[in-house]
């Protein structure tokens, strides 16, 4: 009987608890730029594993009235940016998770962010980097709908969408509203080396 009780307790402990996810405020899309791995500032290279100097990367900026650093500290979460391919605001597939970096004032596209700013609410600005293309991981076919299935923003025709997410070992999490970077903006960045009209 004692062995049976121990096994039962073990099974109960292994069953995952329901995730408790808090929904954050919307995220406003900023600008999209193309950058070489060698040109990424040294202070932003933390977390960019296996970065090659001649590799093409995308850097995007965005803003929110949520202070993610304070939220992460208060809830003891790891916060990151989730990149997705979407059509008409509907997510088609996940492609990458990347580091959330506070943006410098010069990184902010004031015209894009102007409509989200209010006199009574401070806006916080951020940026993140991810590869323009990524091969499928071992054992997965190209264009697999899962995040490790590989992608290529040079040829994909869908919009780029992001959410800020976070979680901890207690199964607590956060998820922001979704920001959409239209395919036209992504194409402009790729075709013009990041120099978009009006920037």
Q: Could you tell me the pTM of the whole model?
A: 0.75
Question: How many angstroms separate the CA atoms of 116 and 62, rounded?
Answer: 11
- Beta strands 172-175; 90-99: pairing state: unpaired
Identify whether the C-beta of residue 153 lies closer than 8 Å to the C-beta of residue 133: yes
pLDDT tens, position by position, 116-145: 444 557 899 999 999 999 887 666 555 555
Give the per-residue pLDDT at 139. Answer: 61
Token pair for residue 115? 């409509």
- DSSP code at position 110: H
CA distances from 164 to 30, 47, 81 (A): 14, 16, 5
pLDDT tens, position by position, 164-180: 999 988 888 999 999 99
Q: Where is mean pLDDT largest: 23-27, 42-46, 116-120, 149-153? A: 23-27
pLDDT at 9 over 80: no
Give the per-residue pLDDT at 177. Answer: 93
pLDDT at 161 over 50: yes
H-run or E-run covering 134 = strand 133-134
pLDDT tens, position by position, 58-90: 999 999 999 999 999 988 899 999 999 999 989
Question: How many angstroms separate the CA atoms of 157 and 151, rounded?
Answer: 11
DSSP 15-60: SPPPPEEEE----EEEEEEEEEGGGS-GGG-TT-TT--TT-EEEEE
pLDDT at 110 over 50: no
């Amino acid at each position: 009987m004692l062995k049976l009780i121990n096994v039962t307790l073990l099974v109960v402990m292994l069953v995952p608890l329901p995730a408790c996810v808090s929904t954050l405020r919307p995220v406003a899309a900023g600008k999209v730029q193309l950058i070489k791995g060698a040109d990424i500032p040294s202070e932003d290279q933390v977390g960019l594993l296996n970065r090659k100097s001649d590799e093409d990367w995308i850097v995007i900026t965005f803003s929110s009235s949520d202070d993610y650093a304070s939220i992460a500290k208060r809830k003891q979460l790891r916060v990151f940016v989730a990149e997705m391919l979407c059509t008409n605001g509907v997510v088609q597939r996940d492609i990458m998770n990347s580091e959330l970096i506070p943006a410098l004032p010069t990184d902010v596209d004031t015209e894009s962010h102007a409509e989200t700013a209010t006199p009574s609410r401070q806006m916080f600005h951020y940026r993140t980097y991810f590869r323009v293309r990524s091969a499928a991981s071992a054992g997965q076919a190209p264009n697999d709908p899962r995040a490790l299935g590989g992608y290529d923003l040079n040829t994909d025709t869908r919009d780029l969408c992001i959410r800020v997410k976070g979680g901890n070992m207690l199964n607590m999490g956060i998820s922001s509203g979704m920001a959409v970077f239209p395919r036209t903006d992504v194409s402009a960045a790729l075709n013009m080396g990041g120099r978009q009209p009006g920037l």
